[in-house]
Amino acid sequence: MTPDLEAVEVLLAVDELGSIGRAAERLAITQPAASARLRSMEARWGLTLVERSARGSHLTSDGRAVAGWAASVMDQVTAMNAGLQALRRDHDRDVRIAASLTIAGFLMPAWLGALRGQRPDASPQLAVVNSAEVIERLRSGTADVGFIETTDLPEDLATRRVGTDTLAVVVAPGHQWATRDSPVTDAELAAEPLVLREPGSGTRRTFDAALARMPVVALEAGSTASLIGAAQAGIGPAVVSARAVRGHLDRGELVEVETDLDLRRPLTVLWSWDRRLSVTAEVLLLIATGKT
């Protein structure tokens, strides 16, 4: 049998203060509750630990023996509680984020700024990886929350939409598609060597699903900047987030090509059902979903 620590607290307070009423006041409970805890402990162990009288209460010889043992135990409990609270505070400051390229580059900075405003002691860690790697990090427990840019959502993770993005097919001003009046067809896109993200990225998954056939690849790259540079150099049409090329389009460095594909994609936050989120992670979720 394990002693009831709440009853032990009452016993020690009675020993120090000489009154069940004053012991109850110190512990912020009612006197009947304090008396009930002592009676329960005495009944459980078959001992009389406290002598009660109109002049006050004092411990019996058995009660003093128990109190002597209990003092060191309660010191250890107090130390353990302090350690647990410190661990929880550290955990609640932390959040390990895995985000795919577009979200990390164009949305995450504002979200992290808002997070800093609400939780100045937050300690976020951001890893920029493709959507497939985001999912793997969540499954392995090396990320707390993840953000991806694909319609292919895992069923074993919790998900919530945080926005929508659209891909753009862009070419250099000198490309033959730059001045055409009609949309480029899926057959033309499938036949043209393209500049694309690597398999596993949200951009590539969205484009492959929309095209519904294997594209011809002129270049695969893991960064948006590389895709944009390749398109500007005339290597081929690039498929990138429209957010990423807005400035290049405005300056005339690239031209967006109209297509007959649906290149919209959801932006989604994910986390594991099985792991408790820190307070910082929960605040970040609310910020990303527009609920704070």
pLDDT tens figures, 172-195: 999 999 999 999 999 999 999 999
The CA angle 155-97-151, to the nearest 5 degrees, is 35
Question: Residue 146: which H helix or E strand, with range?
Answer: strand 145-148
Q: Where are the domains of the chain?
A: 5-91, 93-162+269-288, 164-265
Report the chain's C-alpha Rg in angstroms.
32
Span 164-265: which CATH code? Answer: 3.40.190.290
Q: According to the model, what pLDDT value does residue 29 have? A: 93
Whether 93-162+269-288 and 164-265 share one fold: the answer is yes
Tokens of 239: 């498929």
Buried b (16+ CB within 10 A) or exposed e, 67-93: beebeeebeeeeeeeeeeeeeeeebbe
Residue predicted with more confidence, 201 or 2: 201
Of the pLDDT bands very low, low, confident and very high (cuts 50, 70, 90), residue 32 is very high
Task: Examine the pLDDT at 111 and tell me if it is beyond 80.
Answer: yes
Cβ–Cβ < 8 Å for 165, 102: yes
Level-2 CATH architecture, domain 93-162+269-288:
3-Layer(aba) Sandwich (3.40)
Residue 108 reports pLDDT greater than 80: yes
* Local confidence band at 160 (pLDDT 50, 70, 90 cut-offs): very high
List residues bridging with 33 in a β-sheet. none
Position 262, amino acid: D
H helix runs in the chain, sequence order: 5-17, 20-26, 31-45, 61-93, 101-106, 108-118, 131-140, 186-191, 202-211, 224-232, 246-250, 279-288
Residue 15: count other Cβ atoms within 10 Å of its Cβ.
21
| CATH code for residues 5-91 | 1.10.10.10
What pLDDT does residue 276 have?
84
